Structure 1
Amino acid sequence: MKNLSIVLVVLMLAACKGGKKDVVIQTRTSGTAKILVDESFSSIIRDQIEVFNADYKDAKITVVPGNENKIVPAFLNDSMGVIILSRMLKPEEAKVYRNRNIIPKTSRFAIDGIALITNKDNPDTTITVEQVISILKGRAAAGGPNLVFDNAYSSTLRYFKDLAGIKDLPKQGIYTLEHNNDVIKYVSEHKNYIGVIGVNWLIEKSTGSSEYISGVKTLGVKNLKGKLGDDAFYQPTQKNLMDATYPFLRNVYIINCEGRDGLGTGFANWLMSQRGQLIVLRSGLGPHKLMPREFNLKNTK
């Protein structure tokens, strides 16, 4: 009996030791994390995670995409501690976390543009910010173009409502669909409409929209008088995003309220690193900051 007891103890200790091998410690480069992401930026975040995971095999980050009005309440309810948005938290939103003794850490990691697209057969190739604001305020010229947005609760529509200084949309001239892909498809099939879509999504050419991309073109945009970009019509190219001559710009932020030194914090730091910023550059968006390349030139004589 004594020998049997010793054997059982040894087996239990071995089982416990073996079980610990499967436990992944929560650190900046290991463990699990879920990140809420404005769906306009889901593709670039997935690209970042793919490279991050290649370096850190024990890290598992799950993207939870959605429109801004859906993911912000989930964030404030503390179901997840990290979120990607095109705006910073409002004071009352930040207060929710401060009341939990957590100080939100906000970092801009990219500059996105909002492209205006139209049917490729539309003779118009340009539009002014003033014209866009007129449409948003219900003052569009008779027979003029209509604006089409991804959905009624998206950050893109919120951006333009803020731009025009309106709370409610006019009864005519503005249409909302369900998804960015729907906007591309709709504009490719209708001439008198202007689609409003994030540059990141347009560049990505996702599976659901690839067959319709060839049916649309981007419009050049001139800014309001007295503002940068009021001297010409600018396309939403990467250069124009980075030097801010394209009018419809928005910052992309990662907001970390994890409240501990975990994987979410590690990924937030990764986005701001040189490697993370190079991925932003490769995506076609404007990086927050790129470190200058240094060359060590040695005298070979």
Structure 2
Amino acid sequence: MKYRIILLIALFTLASSCKKNERVIDDPSQGTITIAADESFQSVIEALTSRYMALNPATKINVEIKKEDLAFLDLLENKVRAIVLSRDLTVREKKAFKDKIDLEIQPAKFAVDAVVFVVAKNSPLTSVSLEHLKSELLSDEKNIIFDGANASNLNFVAQKFKMLPSDLKFSVIAGNRNIIQQINNYPGKIGVVSLNTLSRPYDKESEELRNSVKILGVESEGKVYSPDITTLRNMSYPFTRVLYFITNEPYYGLGNGLIRFSCQQLGQIVVQKEGLQPYNIIPREVQMR
């Protein structure tokens, strides 16, 4: 009888162990997850996830590229583990997150990007004022070209002007790169793209994109600001924006592991190599003797 009880306990322990093995929960060094990001941030997000997976070979992070608003909906439905945003969430969106996820939103800021305005290479324009941009966005001429509705660039510009995206009038060319590649066919039009699309300093494709168009400065209060590292660092360029993660992960798993990596030194180096301004500047001390 005694041996029978011991045998039953052993079998129960083995069965429990097998069930636990079936429920593999990810952690920062192993597992598979999916995150989502707008196409405007594709380059920096793919660079961060690629570097993270190289350092943690047992991890697999799938990156889904989709419109910013749709990515947020996927986060609410637990279809993705984390998303990247640049705009502020609305009161309604914050409530939806709290109701569906039952977590406090903790934005993890990791990079400073910008919305930039491009025109044809031979355009006489060198800058554009905030007032002119706003008037064009209310004009039936639709001279401003975005990469689509529900996307980060449109959302951020609308929020900048304290308007709803649905209030703005604009043309559409799908994709940031497509806008840059086609803007020379539309003299008089202004394309709206992310800085990250063409910011990589030593990348041949980025260099070709930068050289194919003219990037406009933005005039604000009588001064013209160009989107560069200096104006991103001090946030003087009017359309500077901070990229941040939010996650529905309630434990320290692979999603939070990626987020922590992106906000710490190695991740910030990746951000810098992307030609963006790291949000968390790592101070360096040099001792000279």
> Offset of 1:71 from its aligned partner?
1.4
Which residue matches 2:139?
138
Alignment CA distance shift 1:98-1:215 (3 Å): closer
Q: Matched residues in 1 for 2:58 and 2:119: separation?
A: 45
For 1:32-81, what per-residue CA distance to the aligned partner results, in whole angstroms no more than 9, with x for missing partners?
11111122111101111111112111111110111112211111112122
For 1:171-203, what per-residue CA distance to the aligned partner results, in whole angstroms no more than 9, with x for missing partners?
6xx211211122112212222111110000122
Contact 1:137 1:166 in 2 (8 A): no
Among 198, 201, 214, the residue aligned to 2:197: 201
The TM-score normalised by the length of structure 1 is 0.80
Give the unaligned 5+ runs of structure 2.
Answer: 1-13
Which residue matches 1:186?
182
Which residue matches 1:243?
234
Which residue matches 2:256?
265
Deviates more, 1:76-85 or 1:161-170: 161-170
Are positions 1:222 and 2:213 aligned together?
Answer: no
Alignment CA distance shift 1:214-1:97 (3 Å): closer
Are positions 1:55 and 2:46 aligned together?
Answer: no
> SS of the residue aligned with 1:73?
helix
Which residue matches 1:80?
80
Q: Matched residues in 1 for 2:93 and 2:106: separation?
A: 13
Alignment CA distance shift 1:216-1:126 (3 Å): same
Are positions 1:129 and 2:126 aligned together?
Answer: no
Provide the aligned length of Structure 1 versus Structure 2.
269
Contact 1:188 1:212 in 2 (8 A): no
Q: Matched residues in 1 for 2:208 and 2:98: separation?
A: 47
> SS of the residue aligned with 2:178?
helix
Q: Matched residues in 2 for 1:101 and 1:158: separation?
A: 25
> Offset of 1:86 from its aligned partner?
0.9
Give the unaligned 5+ runs of structure 1.
Answer: 1-12
Q: Matched residues in 1 for 2:121 and 2:27: separation?
A: 50
Which residue matches 2:103?
102
Which residue matches 2:151?
154
Which residue matches 1:115?
116
CA RMSD for the aligned pairs? 2.9
Which residue matches 1:176?
172
Which residue matches 2:9?
none
Alignment CA distance shift 1:76-1:25 (3 Å): closer
For 1:117-175, what per-residue CA distance to the aligned partner results, in whole angstroms no more than 9, with x for missing partners?
111111111111111111112298xxxx921111122111122222333333466xx21
Alignment CA distance shift 1:265-1:209 (3 Å): closer
Contact 1:88 1:106 in 2 (8 A): no
Contact 2:75 2:247 in 1 (8 A): no
**1:26 counterpart letter in structure 2:** D
Q: Matched residues in 1 for 2:57 and 2:23: separation?
A: 14
